[in-house]
Amino acid sequence: MEIVHVYTKLRSEFGRQYLFSDRPTELLVDIPPDPSLAMQFITKTPRDQATQACREMSEHQVNTERFESESRGLNHMEGGWPKDVDPNDMEQTIRFRKKVEKDESYMNSILQLGSVMDHYIRQNNAINIYQDYFTEDQDIDEGQEAPSAKTINVFRDPNEVKRTVTCLSWHPDGGRKLAAAYCCLEFQKSSKDLSPDSYIWDIENPNQPELALKPASPLVCLDYNPKDPHTLVGGSYNGQIVYWDTRRGSQPVELSSVEHSHRDPVYKIIWLQSKTGTDAFSASTDGQVLWWDVRKLNEPTERLVLDPGREGNLDRALGAISLEFEATMPTKFMVGTEQGLVVSCNRKAKTPAEKIVCTYDGHHGPIYALHRNPFFPKNFLTVGDWTARIWSEDIRDSSIMWTRYQMSYLTDACWSPVRPSVFFTTKMDGVLDVWDVLFKQNNPTLSLKVCDEALYSLRVQDNGRFVACGSQIGAATLLEICSGLSTLQKNEKSLLAAMFERETKREKILEARQREMRLKERSRSEQSREDDTGRDADGDESPEQLIARAEEDFYSVVEAERKRREERHRVSTNHSKP
């Protein structure tokens, strides 16, 4: 059967009929080529154009905010036992097991699995596939990988009001813990809600400090006892020395008495090498260096006043900002002062006057860090104002090597404990510099911007790979240095020794020359003074005369300049007049 659909439409409803007509072609527009326009274009041959037909994609990097993580454990109890069997009941479990063992499928599968397993066990025993086959060829050069450092963790001050991290100390046993002293060092900025706590962090857990140390006044510096990793000693803002034992909790075990402590914040405290392992010494800007026995903190065992005149006069004493003590040289120590002098002292001197052996004058401002090179104890590094300087103990007048004046103030420095030619410095613009004197002397080998705020303290861990630096807002950052900067290179010690020798010799020669010149001057001035005893020698002018002369010179120069400007102005107005 045919299926037909009928469609009807009235003719009047159709549209108008199309009437097509043909027409010859007509030129509408003719645009001839204009060769002059070609001058504005450059032929570019050959053209290399890459096209790709794909979806548009863009690459974005996102870093999450620090997340809080917590460790949780899950206890696995024996599970899966059918309901009628009680897992704790030995008899029932044994009975269940025996039942399973009698099962056909059990036997078959075990037989089959057993043969498979047998094969692999034998395979293991035959050849050790992870054996080092090509050990001789593995000593190839690591290649000149670019020096780098990676941030591993950031430990932030958990308090609301952020304080500066003023001092860091690594746990002596393996360095799994870091003690950080927090204090607001700005003058009179400490508010009432400033917490005096300092914290000990476990480096694996940046979310929460492991232990809080609660002194009476905020700590400016602290140090772990290298002999007993449970004890710490700290110097606080009000000048007291505080002693903790981490086994006994957050409260200090002992506090030094206020009358006998320092009168200014204690800027540095270091444990000493002693038979009892309980001696420490501290330095403060009140000009004193005090020795303490931590078993009896009510009075210091010894006192030294940093008077350059060697008279023990406290009024003329220099304020001490940093201390240096090397365990290999237990009788000597060095103090860095606010006035820019490094004072080298001998502890075993008989009289207090002889305690101060010599001074090194180098910096324009306070010496914030002082550190001896662990491989070459005769050379030490100081940091103050905008430079870092390396000194040799024998040369008093100047440092043997120094860096350029940096863009921002240097706040702390230390040598690397594994590489004698590497040292680290921190700056007030938040940059950590790693200097390798054997590689590059003008610029740091590696410059890392750790954070936007100023960095105030720095400490390298004993293995030389981890560096902790503390910033102004209380964030201590833990960085890992690449292996190139933390493994001893061949000949490094001898090359560095040669470099220090050379620089020391240069300074010695310069010093000798200076001395000669001074001698000559003096002999010449003596002669000239003998010649004209009547005349007032220039060198004998009193300060007032000098000032008067300076004023005269100044005013005459100003007058001359003013006159010159007037002349110029008059001349120009003359020119502008018609």
Partner 1 sequence: MAEVEETLRRIQSQKGVQGIVIVNSEGIPIKTTLDNSSTVQYAGLIHQLVMKARSTVRDIDPQNDLTFLRIRSKKNEIMIAPDKDYFLIVIQNPSD
78 interacts with partner 1 by CB under 8 A: yes
Whole-angstrom Cα Rg for the chain: 40
Cα torsion through 349, 350, 355, 358, rounded to 10: -70
Stretch that binds partner 1, among 22-30, 70-78, 274-282, 436-444 (CB under 8 A): 70-78
80 interacts with partner 1 by CB under 8 A: yes
Shortest distance (Å) from residue 131 CB to partner 1: 7
Shortest distance (Å) from residue 90 CB to partner 1: 10
Rounded to whole angstroms, the Cα distance separating 80 from 108 reads 22
Site size toward partner 1 (CB under 8 A) is 32
94 interacts with partner 1 by CB under 8 A: no
Stretch that binds partner 1, among 75-83, 141-149, 195-203, 396-404 (CB under 8 A): 75-83
Among the residues of 215-349, which ranges form H helices? none
321 contacts 337 by C-beta, under 8 angstroms: yes
Q: Which of 270, 271, 234 is nearest to 255 (CA)?
A: 234
Q: Which of residues 411-430 bind partner 1 (CB under 8 A)?
A: none
The β-bridge partners of 305 are 288
Closest CB to partner 1 among 32 and 79? Answer: 79
* End-to-end Cα distance, the chain: 117
3-state secondary structure 228-248: CCCEEEEEECCCCEEEEEHHH
Q: Which of residues 479-518 bind partner 1 (CB under 8 A)?
A: none
Closest CB to partner 1 among 122 and 275? Answer: 122
Rounded to whole angstroms, the Cα distance separating 94 from 142 reads 59
SS3 356: strand
Q: Which of residues 123-142 bind partner 1 (CB under 8 A)?
A: 124-125, 128, 130-131
Taking the CA atoms of 414, 415, 417 and 419 in sequence, report the sign of the dihedral they define: positive
8 interacts with partner 1 by CB under 8 A: no
Shortest distance (Å) from residue 287 CB to partner 1: 57
451 contacts 477 by C-beta, under 8 angstroms: yes
Shortest distance (Å) from residue 133 CB to partner 1: 13
105 to 124: interface string for partner 1, x by CB under 8 A: xxx-xxxxxxxxxx-xxx-x
Amino acid at residue number 302: E
DSSP-assigned letter for residue 338:
T
Shortest distance (Å) from residue 45 CB to partner 1: 50
Question: Binder to partner 1 among 101, 204, 311, 559 (CB under 8 A)?
Answer: 101
146 interacts with partner 1 by CB under 8 A: no
Closest CB to partner 1 among 107 and 512? Answer: 107
Residues that bind partner 1 (CB under 8 A): 76-81, 96-97, 100-102, 105-107, 109-118, 120-122, 124-125, 128, 130-131
